[in-house]
Amino acid sequence: MRNANLLLNLIRITLSIPILFGMLAGLVSCQQSSPVPDGNKLNIVATTSLVGDVVSQVGGDKISVDVLLPLGTDPHSFSPTPQDAAAIADAQIMFANGVGLEAFLKPLMDNIGGSSKVVEVSDGIKYLTMVDEGLKSTQQVDDPHTWMDPNNVIIWVDNIVRALSKQDPNNAAYYHENGQAYQAKLRELDAWIRSESSVILEQDRKLVTDHRVFGYFSNEYGFSQVGTIIPGFSSLAEPSAKDIAQIEDTIRSLGVKAIFINVGGNANLAQRISEDTGTRLVPLYMHSLSDVGGVAGNYIDFIRYDVTSMINALK
């Protein structure tokens, strides 16, 4: 009898999902056709804390931002809930990194409708493209980690200003002014990175990370990604015994000084490689900000923390 009740409840839940998504689609349709009332804040959803912070810098007190992924969550493995779908349905704009980072987003938007409200902040960036070893094929893919170069985030700001101004033309000048002020800070950040990294000798500018996340940073500031523990761009890929042996050989042969891993990630394999090669582990923030007030509580502090940690490890 208990099993029969469980089966009945499961059937009820399964049958309710299409109804939920249908209701959410209706909400999206209604909201897309409604103007923004004067004096009301725009209701915004951002996928990651990094995107959310930059959107907040531009939108200021004219917007309310809800970040979809909890702090520390890996966007490669995130699965949205019905509550997330409801938040998106209520939003006037959905800001995403794009470049395939949020694999969960397309099926979600297909279910609830309203894909036209999605703005990919990385649109217009010249993407780095290479074979993704994690796919175990010769498929060429674009690197989604655009935020690791502040010059790319300057392009993010242009896209954000444009989207907010289109949705809320009465405050377009406000968004434009905030965007320009924040872009000036990003240019200062770029100059600071160049100054800080100038102390690292060319032979020491070799990066080994848990997955391929520093491509844009390396290209812009003269570093080289010589190896990754997890092959490819996604942290979900699985390294083989051969992959591990190769990365250990690379670390030894090139005299790599540090292995950079994601804060809060599973460090078991990295710890083993560190012990095998005598190379120190250095945690960096890669996909998420820290708590507000923490060492990486906003995007600029995020980059400053990572670069400072990296430079100290490579000196």
pLDDT tens for each residue of 121-141: 999 999 999 765 555 555 788
Indicate the fold that domain 200-314 takes in CATH.
Rossmann fold (3.40.50)
Does residue 153 have a pLDDT over 70? yes
In sequence order, what are the residues at sequence separation of 6 or more whose Cβ sits closer than 8 angstroms to the Cβ of residue 107?
A: none
Q: Strands 129-131 and 140-142: what pairing?
A: antiparallel
Residue 208 phi, psi (nearest 5) = -115, 125
Could you count the other beta carbons within 10 Å of the beta carbon of residue 136?
12
Q: What is the pLDDT of residue 111?
A: 80
| Higher-scoring residue by pLDDT: 183, 267 | 183
- pLDDT tens for residues 74-92? 887 888 999 999 999 999 9
| Separation of alpha carbons 196 and 309, rounded Å | 11
Please give the angle made by the CA atoms of 101, 102 and 103, to the nearest 5 degrees.
100
Local structure of 231: helix, strand or coil: coil
Confidence of residue 15 (pLDDT cuts 50, 70, 90): very low
Say if CB 42 and CB 63 are below 8 A apart. yes
Long-range contacts of 161-165 (CB under 8 A, 24+ apart): 161/58, 163/93, 163/95, 163/119, 164/42, 164/58, 164/59, 164/62, 164/63, 164/93
Lowest mean pLDDT among 18-22, 104-108, 138-142, 235-239: 18-22
Does residue 315 have a pLDDT over 80? yes
Lowest mean pLDDT among 12-21, 58-67, 96-105, 229-238: 12-21
| Separation of alpha carbons 89 and 112, rounded Å | 7
Structural element, H or E, at residue 282: strand 280-284
pTM of the shown model:
0.85
CA 314 to each of CA 29, 188, 192, 207, 279: distance values in angstroms, whole numbers, following the listed order: 53, 23, 17, 9, 11
Domain boundaries, the chain: 2-127+143-188, 200-314
Say if CB 262 and CB 73 are below 8 A apart. no
* One-letter amino acid for residue 66 of the chain: D
pLDDT, mean of residues 270-278: 96
| Separation of alpha carbons 44 and 292, rounded Å | 19
**Same topology for domains 2-127+143-188 and 200-314, yes or no?**
yes
Say if CB 87 and CB 45 are below 8 A apart. yes
Q: What is the pLDDT of residue 136?
A: 54
Residue of 54, 100, 99 lying closest to 303 (CA atoms): 54
| Higher-scoring residue by pLDDT: 233, 108 | 108
**In CATH, 2-127+143-188 is 3.40.50.1980:** yes
> What whole-number percentage of the chain has pLDDT above 70?
83
* One-letter amino acid for residue 130 of the chain: M
Confidence of residue 6 (pLDDT cuts 50, 70, 90): very low
Could you count the other beta carbons within 10 Å of the beta carbon of residue 131?
12
Does residue 191 have a pLDDT over 50? yes
